[in-house]
Amino acid sequence: MSTGSMSDRLVEGFTGSLPSPTRGVRKLVSLVGFVAVWWLFYEFGVLNFEHFVSPVTTIVEFAGALAGQPLTEGGDTIYLHAIYSGARVAVGVVAAALLAIPLGLVVGTSDRWENLLYPALEALRPIPPIAWLPIAIIVFPALALGSVSVPLPALFVVFIGSFFPIFTNTIEGARTIETEYGQAARSLGAGSGDVFRHVVLPATLPSIITGLSLGVGLGWITVVAAELLTGGPGLGYIIIQGSRLLQNQVVVIGMLAVGALGYATSALVEALGNWLMPWSTE
């Protein structure tokens, strides 16, 4: 009576004699193993790692940062940096989604709009988002809401970065809807507005969620890149500032914070998808 999956049984030959660890233990091994490799590189000076920072120092400093200590002498807390970066990602991605989803639906369902819009956008797509920064700095005026300055150039870079995955996935989703769903709806009395609302939109939703998930990931990638160049507060700024001050633990703390927040926002998008698509859960 084998109850294991195919992949479990395939590796039985290697692990059959060992006690099988639980899923949680395996995940812990993954994280501990990562830190152990880092420590070994530091301790034995692989690739100049001895000039870097030990995982122990980093973990201690990270705990301090989480307790609210400023990351650099006289600087801001990690929370403030994270809030700034997070807000930029949120604003950039939401703006991108608000434009990319309707455009993608239009291009994916109409040949005429596809001809009008797709070639230009397709030509812009391969440009790395950060390459837009010089133009963005020139064309966007300095903007402030009360006492808070709004970094339009950085927001624009995030916007561009997350726009294309959402756009292309929405197009792909709308294009690949089985025509018979639309035919069935029309034979049941649906007009074109009904077909859009009851067929095109829900049928494209899984692809839109995939696009959003990729878009949020690219949002974090681009916000860090933009902050490296435009300054802070922000997690990207903290990474470059730590490097300038030769405080490598600050660099790593910035990196880990981006990783953790990226992971968390992906989970958030996934939860949004499950909530919007109760039919797709097994």
Partner 1 sequence: MSEPNTDTTTRSDIDEQSDEQFRSWTESSGTGTVNIQDLRKVYGDDGDELVAVDGMDLHIEAEEFVTVLGPSGCGKSTVMECIAGYLDPTEGEVLVNDEPVEGPDPSRGVVFQENRLFPWKTISENVRFGPQMRDDVDESRVASLFDQMGLEGFEDAYPNELSGGMQQRAELARLLANDPDIMLMDEPFSGLDAMTKELMQEKLLDVWEDDDRTVLFITHDVEEAILLADRVVVMTARPGQVKDVIDVDLERPRSTDMVTTDRFNELQRRASESIHDEAERAMEQAEGRA
CB of 191 to partner 1, least distance (A): 8
CB of 200 to partner 1, least distance (A): 11
Selected binder of partner 1 within 101, 136, 199, 226 (CB under 8 A): 199
- For residue 268, the number of C-alpha atoms closer than 13 Å in the C-beta half-sphere is 11
143 forms beta bridges with 150
Q: In this chain, which stretch among 64-72, 103-111, 200-208, 233-241 interacts with partner 1, using CB under 8 A?
A: 200-208
CB of 155 to partner 1, least distance (A): 34
Scan for tokens 């291009």, then name that residue. Answer: 107
Q: What are phi and psi of 177, to 5 degrees?
A: -65, 135
Q: Is 178 in the site for partner 1 (CB under 8 A)?
A: yes
CB of 194 to partner 1, least distance (A): 6
Q: In this chain, which stretch among 20-28, 189-197, 235-243, 262-270 interacts with partner 1, using CB under 8 A?
A: 189-197
Q: Is 183 in the site for partner 1 (CB under 8 A)?
A: yes
Give the contacts of 216 (CB within 8 A, at least 6 positions apart). 89, 93, 162, 262, 265, 266, 268, 269
Which residues ranging from 205 to 224 are in contact with partner 1 (CB under 8 A)?
205
Selected binder of partner 1 within 185, 216, 252, 258 (CB under 8 A): 185
User: In 168-196, which positions are buried (b, 16+ CB within 10 angstroms) versus exposed (e)?
Assistant: bbbbebbeebeeeebeebeeeebeeeebe
Q: Is 246 left (phi over 0), alpha (psi -120 to 50) or beta?
A: left
Selected binder of partner 1 within 202, 230, 248, 266 (CB under 8 A): 202
Selected binder of partner 1 within 121, 181, 255, 256 (CB under 8 A): 181
> Burial, 134: exposed, middle or buried (Cβ in 10 Å; 0-12, 13-18, 19+)?
exposed
Q: In this chain, which stretch among 30-38, 55-63, 196-204, 210-218 interacts with partner 1, using CB under 8 A?
A: 196-204
CB of 202 to partner 1, least distance (A): 4
Q: Is 111 in the site for partner 1 (CB under 8 A)?
A: no
Q: Is 190 in the site for partner 1 (CB under 8 A)?
A: yes
Binding mask of the shown chain, residues 241 to 280, with x at each position contacting partner 1 by CB under 8 A? ------------------------------------xxx-
Q: In this chain, which stretch among 36-44, 109-117, 118-126, 178-186 interacts with partner 1, using CB under 8 A?
A: 178-186
Residues that bind partner 1 (CB under 8 A): 178, 180-181, 183-191, 194, 198-199, 202-203, 205, 277-279
